[in-house]
Amino acid sequence: MAIELIREFLRDMKSHRMRTVLTLIAITWGTMSVVLLLAFGSGFGKAMRDGLVNAWNRVLIVYGGETGKVYQGLPKGRSINLEEGDVDLLKASIPNIIMISPQYRKNAELFYGKTRLTTECEGAGPDFEIMRAMYPEAGGRFIDANDIKYRKRSLFLGYDIAADLFKGEKPIGKTVMLDNVPFTVIGIMEKKLQTSMNNGPDSRRAVIPYSTFRMIYGYKHINTILLKAPSPGMQTRMISEIREVLGKKYRFDPTDERAVGIFDTMMIDEIIKKVSLGVNIFLGIVGFFTLMIAGVGVANVMYVVVKERTREIGIKMAVGARRAYILFQFVFEALFISLLGGTSGLLLSWVIVGAAGLLDTSSGPMQFLGRPILSIGIMLFTVTVLTLIGLFAGVFPARKAAGVDPVESLRYE
């Protein structure tokens, strides 16, 4: 029966080539709309999440505050200023910390040749590289343990400020004056997308060892402490442990959130995930209705086919064709058109997504759009929608065809 249905479908296609071709084009276009919108939406969401990780790689940021509760006879309103020693205290007290670094920060002046620039200078440790995704270009390196131990005048620069400072020269090994103190450039940060930042992008930042920073500027208190848990799920528990440890040292209530501020960057990650999901749902709805319009075209074609073949349907029923056979015949044709056009749309979408993946996404607007992602989930969603559209587009014309009175249909011209 399947072979006979296919033969009849192909015969109809030959009889109405233009109408069939236009319907197939509509289904193909609708399929491409759904797939490409969802693929680019997924790529956009991934680019935003990657941009966040490139700014804060799922870390906790701890900073001093002001007590908001009376504790052990001490009044509220006391300032809590973190010190470099708190880093060692937290690391020794909380075994689950896998990365930690103090962070000093101030505006500083860089001078090389005749170029003088003002930038954000940070004093940090080796773990800062991964927690802030500040990876060096080939041939360079980040701050290491020896830089900290020997208080070396080592300087790591963002790629934009390095380009402005050296104007085409190779920076590695060059001496730069940082607030009139000579530093040796040890590395340049490779380019990255950054969708979150603190006092400017990392591309315009200078980083030196925190021990050197303290020695030169004489800071007693650090700005923040960055630390990382083994998994994002452990960060909520770690926040309580941090306040417990620091509360004992500085004598404040561990439940006093104002005494020590702790920002969990996973909160931004969750927000971006929700925004990305919302964008994908919106784009999916737009694509779905575009495909529905094509489905209306399939239904119209099937109604015309039923009308033109009324006499033929009556003859089949008069010689014994069952109502189920007539019903299935037109549902099959609608499904065949939908899936044939859908297959063409999927193949064209795959080609377009592959071509878009070859584009440079390291700069310009494309870095925020990201590379489109054609996932199995997107394809399954599209095939499901196409099947439903084919069924609905075929069922109503098929019911009309199956309800034809054989005697009356023989009078139809």
- Across 141-155, average pLDDT: 96
- Across 2-10, average pLDDT: 64
For 251-348, list the strands marked E by DSSP: 260-264
Domain that holds residue 123: 60-264
Whole-number average pLDDT of the chain: 83
Q: Are residues 233 and 134 in the same domain?
A: yes
**pLDDT score of 92 more than 70:** yes
Q: Are 64 and 80 in contact (CB under 8 A)?
A: yes
What are the beta bridge partners of residue 225? 62, 102
Q: Are residues 35 and 66 in the same domain?
A: no
What are the beta bridge partners of residue 123? 104, 208
Q: Are residues 213 and 107 in the same domain?
A: yes
Local structure of residue 171 (DSSP, 8 states): -
Q: Are residues 154 and 240 in the same domain?
A: yes
Give the pLDDT of residue 180.
Answer: 93
Give the pLDDT of residue 312.
Answer: 65
Q: Are 96 and 230 in contact (CB under 8 A)?
A: yes
Q: Are 280 and 375 in contact (CB under 8 A)?
A: no
What are the beta bridge partners of residue 10? none
Total domain count, the chain? 2
- H or E element, residue 292: helix 266-308
Distance separating alpha carbons of residues 143 and 129, to the nearest angstrom? 8
Tens digits of per-residue pLDDT, 379-391? 888 888 777 777 7
Considering only 16-20, 55-59, 333-337, 365-369, which range has the smallest mean pLDDT?
A: 365-369
Q: Are residues 310 and 243 in the same domain?
A: no
- H or E element, residue 70: none
Structure tokens at 370: 């990201």
**pLDDT score of 295 more than 80:** no
Q: Are 367 and 47 in contact (CB under 8 A)?
A: yes
- Across 58-72, average pLDDT: 91
Q: Highest mean pLDDT range out of 187-196, 248-257, 320-329?
A: 248-257
For 199-264, list the strands marked E by DSSP: 205-209, 224-228, 260-264
- Across 126-136, average pLDDT: 93
What are the φ and ψ backbone dihedral angles of 346, each rounded to 5 degrees? Answer: -65, -40
Structure tokens at 172: 């590695």
Q: Are residues 179 and 299 in the same domain?
A: no
Give the pLDDT of residue 287.
Answer: 78
Q: Are residues 283 and 248 in the same domain?
A: no
Local structure of residue 75 (DSSP, 8 states): P
Rounded to whole angstroms, what are the CA distances from 150 to 122, 128, 145?
Answer: 18, 18, 9
Distance separating alpha carbons of residues 410 and 318, to the nearest angstrom? 9
Nearest alpha-carbon partner for 80 in 194, 247, 227, 242: 247
Q: Are residues 85 and 207 in the same domain?
A: yes
Distance separating alpha carbons of residues 162 and 146, to the nearest angstrom? 24
* Strands 175-178 and 99-112, sheet pairing: antiparallel
Structure tokens at 186: 């040890």
**pLDDT score of 200 more than 80:** no
- H or E element, residue 121: strand 115-124
- What is the pTM for the complete model shown? 0.74
More reliable by pLDDT, 177 or 349 = 177
Q: Are residues 159 and 298 in the same domain?
A: no
**pLDDT score of 233 more than 60:** yes
Q: Are 132 and 56 in contact (CB under 8 A)?
A: yes
Which of 206, 240, 264 is the endpoint of a domain?
264
Which of 242, 264, 286 is the endpoint of a domain?
264
Q: Are residues 78 and 14 in the same domain?
A: no
More reliable by pLDDT, 9 or 122 = 122
Q: Are residues 149 and 251 in the same domain?
A: yes
**pLDDT score of 394 more than 90:** no
Which of 211, 239, 264 is the endpoint of a domain?
264
Distance separating alpha carbons of residues 148 and 212, to the nearest angstrom? 7
With a pLDDT cut of 70, the percent of the chain lying above it is: 81
Q: Are residues 297 and 166 in the same domain?
A: no
